[in-house]
Amino acid sequence: MKDLLPLGDTVSHCRQLLLIATAFLCPALALSDSGDVGPRVDDVLRLLDKHEVLYAEEDIRRAAIAGLLKAIDSHALLMDSKEAEAMEHMASVARAEMWPGGIGYVKIQALCKGGRKYVEEVIRDWNGSLRGLVLDLRGGAGADLESVEVIAGLFLGPRTDIYRLVNGRNEPVVTKASRGEQLAEVPPLMLLVDGNTSGAPEALVAVLKGRRGIMVLGGTTAGDALSRETLPVMKDLSAYIATRGIVPVDGPGYSSSGVSPDIAVSGAAVVDDPGTQDDSSAVIGENAEVNELLERISQDPVLRRAVDILLSLEAMSYGRPEPAGKEDQNAGEGRKNTPGDK
């Protein structure tokens, strides 16, 4: 600004800067029609004209609209049609790998409409060979809540109510349920999160946390419990902005507070149990491929902890279906060998 406006009187110059800053940083005032509330965009434009500052009026008005959106929702964006399309079709999966020990790893960078089907297909293709699944949602964003419903359906089955959308008065607008067919064999699920997990990935964590066979590891999530939509504003411009709040049907709300992990793990050490010793080798024996995997992920404490847990569960045959005929045999024997029976 100092290169555009003449220095002039120090007090006068500071007042001019304050006027412009108020208009752009507090656009709710800048767009007000009330003369006693604060400067309007037109007031600022006249000030710029007075000092013969060069500007494009269209750019100024767009900046004012973008500022208004930001004042309402700090994550709001003003986008042209190409930017809106790119956001909708952003790649959802950064990595998808099947690891030794039957562990599937999926790094989700965004839950967007264009990538929803791919996330589901990757997990379904692995079903039957999975002994555990890691969904890495650290840094994950995106606004596609239908992806939340589809992914939740893989573990919960269809028609399980999972979240409500509420309006600005916190009144329920609609209740959403999981959808799609449940996996034939539901594996233990590890959800990795951090302070940058927001949007639809954060909603997924909120609705799955506390359910059987699912564990959340890492750090507390962003606390961004808002549903966002892309709304047309003017020709070739759309606003990506929060329109509803998200409230899990089961479990507490997470607006501002975020979703806390079941096991808190920092980037350097295990927070909940600093003295924990790495005894995974005692669990897996002499499996060279698994040992190689553990070495590969050794610099990622959160991921390493998740894999250690899944390997331990596999060693105990957690979640593994009974061999053919075993269930009938157990049923015939009844409870006669149950500890505690007389």
| 264 shares its domain with 127 | yes
**pLDDT number for residue 23:** 46
In a domain, 60, yes or no: yes
Residue 53: is it exposed, middle or buried by C-beta count within 10 angstroms (0-12/13-18/19+)? middle
Q: Show Cβ contacts of residue 234 under 8 Å, excluding neighbours closer than 6 positions.
A: none
| 54 shares its domain with 169 | no
Residues composing the chain? 342
In a domain, 341, yes or no: no
Q: Residue 78, SS3?
A: strand
**pLDDT number for residue 74:** 87
| 59 shares its domain with 95 | no
| 171 shares its domain with 68 | no
| 111 shares its domain with 43 | no
**pLDDT number for residue 137:** 97
| 148 shares its domain with 66 | no
The enclosing domain of 274 has a CATH number of 3.90.226.10
Residue that finishes a domain, picked among 72, 101, 119: 72
User: Residue 153: how many CB atoms within 10 A of its CB?
Assistant: 21
In a domain, 301, yes or no: yes
User: Residue 267: how many CB atoms within 10 A of its CB?
Assistant: 11
Enclosing H/E stretch for 113: none
**pLDDT number for residue 37:** 54
Angle at alpha carbon of residue 210, lines to 207 and 213, rounded to 5°: 105
Q: Based on the structure, what is the number of domains in the chain?
A: 2
User: Residue 323: how many CB atoms within 10 A of its CB?
Assistant: 8
List 217's β-bridge partners, or say none.
192, 263
Enclosing H/E stretch for 161: strand 161-166
In a domain, 77, yes or no: no
| 47 shares its domain with 188 | no
Where does 237-296 have alpha helices with state H? Answer: 280-284, 288-296
The range of the structural domain enclosing residue 24 comes to 10-72
Spell out, as residue ranges, where the chain has pLDDT lower than 70.
Answer: 1-41, 267-286, 318-342
Place of tokens 């190409």: 82
| 64 shares its domain with 95 | no
**What would the pLDDT profile of 110-134 be if each residue is shown by its tens digit?**
998 877 788 899 999 998 899 999 9
| 68 shares its domain with 167 | no
Q: Show Cβ contacts of residue 333 under 8 Å, excluding neighbours closer than 6 positions.
A: none
In a domain, 110, yes or no: yes
In a domain, 281, yes or no: yes
**pLDDT number for residue 38:** 58
Is residue 45 within 8 A of residue 57, CB to CB? The reply is yes
| 23 shares its domain with 162 | no
In a domain, 82, yes or no: no
In a domain, 79, yes or no: no
| Backbone phi, psi, residue 218, to 5° | 125, -130
Rounded alpha-carbon distances, angstroms, from residue 101 to 33, 42, 300: 65, 66, 18
Angle at alpha carbon of residue 194, lines to 290 and 261, rounded to 5°: 80
**What would the pLDDT profile of 183-230 be if each residue is shown by its tens digit?**
999 999 999 999 999 999 999 999 999 999 999 999 999 999 999 999
| 159 shares its domain with 126 | yes
| 49 shares its domain with 109 | no
